[in-house]
């Protein structure tokens, strides 16, 4: 049963020192920077909230109903910026139903899907987290793995086990299953016929 999850990375927190009489505070350690949401984060969060309000997985989780495993789904991550090391909140899509969420498909083709921007240094990065692309019309399930896995290898047995788990998950459904590494492989193999987005006026 699919469900919305929240994964967090431990953040290094500095406890506040107790007040000492006569202490001027000159040697007090600076407080750690607070987490914040970039404009990109807020956009993705807004999409997730809209999905929940339309009866999607997030709304189903609140009512106790079983979510639709083929519906577009999101998760929440606390990720560390590679440049300034701040940890900030990032909502990302982990299951994309192409028929239900065509705007997200357009974001993939334009290289804007599952991106994060650090609220401190403004560095924009692609979140290398596995996600699944589903095209109901073609009865197609594509698992998109991080591109580094393709270059790192990992051994035939390791990938065979991962593929076996993937096929077991969808064994009861009439779908064709594929695995790609990185969004560009998804675009090259399965999204060449996606129509271009309408021109802005």
95-99, 145-149, 165-169 — which one is most confidently predicted on average? 95-99
Rounded alpha-carbon distances, angstroms, from residue 69 to 30, 57, 97, 132:
45, 8, 10, 11
User: 192 or 8: whose pLDDT is higher?
Assistant: 192
Specify if 78 maps to a domain. Answer: yes
Q: What is the pLDDT of residues 29-63, one digit of tens each?
A: 444 444 444 454 455 555 555 554 544 444 444 44
Q: Name the average pLDDT for the chain.
A: 74
pLDDT given for residue 65 in this prediction: 55
Specify if 18 maps to a domain. Answer: no
- Tokens (6 digits) for 79: 């990720």
Q: CA–CA separation, 44 vs 58, rounded Å? A: 14
Residue 152's pLDDT band, with cuts at 50, 70 and 90, is low
Rounded alpha-carbon distances, angstroms, from residue 184 to 7, 142, 157, 173, 176:
26, 13, 25, 26, 20
Domain of 185 in residue numbering reads as 35-190
- Interior CA angle at 120 toward 117 and 122, to 5°? 40
Specify if 3 maps to a domain. Answer: no
User: 28 or 171: whose pLDDT is higher?
Assistant: 171
pLDDT given for residue 7 in this prediction: 47
**pLDDT above 70: percentage of residues in the chain:** 59
Main-chain dihedrals φ then ψ at residue 74, nearest 5 degrees: -125, 160
User: 26 or 124: whose pLDDT is higher?
Assistant: 124
Helix (H) or strand (E) holding 153: none
Specify if 96 maps to a domain. Answer: yes
Specify if 14 maps to a domain. Answer: no
Packing angle, helices 183-190 and 102-109, rounded to 10: 110
Please tell me whether residue 141 adopts helix, strand or coil conformation: strand
Q: CA–CA separation, 31 vs 14, rounded Å? A: 7
Residue 162's pLDDT band, with cuts at 50, 70 and 90, is confident
Specify if 166 maps to a domain. Answer: yes
Look at the block and give the residue holding tokens 């007040």. Answer: 19
Helix boundaries (H) for 3-119: 39-53, 57-63, 102-109
Q: Are 51 and 57 in contact (CB under 8 A)?
A: yes
Q: CA–CA separation, 94 vs 7, rounded Å? A: 12
Tell me what the mean pLDDT of segment 64-89 comes to.
Answer: 86
Give the chain's domain count.
1
Q: Are 187 and 109 in contact (CB under 8 A)?
A: yes
Specify if 126 maps to a domain. Answer: yes
Question: Considering Cα of 173, then 176, then 182, then 184, what sign does the dihedral take?
Answer: negative
pLDDT given for residue 193 in this prediction: 85
Closest CA relative to residue 87, chosen from 35, 134, 139: 35
Specify if 123 maps to a domain. Answer: yes
User: 5 or 102: whose pLDDT is higher?
Assistant: 102
């Amino acid at each position: 049963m699919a469900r919305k999850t929240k994964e967090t990375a431990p953040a290094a927190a500095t406890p506040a020192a107790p007040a000492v009489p006569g202490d001027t505070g000159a040697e007090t350690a600076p407080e750690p920077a607070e987490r914040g949401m970039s404009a990109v984060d807020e956009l993705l969060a807004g999409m997730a909230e809209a999905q929940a309000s339309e009866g999607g997985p997030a709304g189903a989780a609140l009512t106790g109903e079983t979510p639709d495993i083929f519906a577009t789904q999101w998760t929440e991550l606390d990720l560390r910026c590679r440049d300034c090391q701040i940890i900030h909140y990032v909502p990302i899509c982990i299951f994309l139903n192409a028929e239900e969420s065509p705007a997200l498909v357009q974001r993939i083709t334009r290289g804007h899907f599952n991106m994060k921007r650090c609220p401190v240094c403004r560095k924009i990065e692609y979140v290398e987290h596995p996600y699944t692309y589903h095209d109901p019309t073609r009865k197609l399930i594509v698992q998109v793995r991080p591109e580094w896995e393709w270059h790192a290898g990992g051994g035939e047995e390791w990938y065979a086990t991962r593929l076996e788990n993937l096929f077991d998950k969808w064994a009861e459904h009439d779908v064709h299953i594929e695995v790609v590494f990185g969004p560009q492989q998804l675009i090259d193999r399965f999204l060449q016929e996606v129509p271009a987005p309408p021109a802005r006026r």
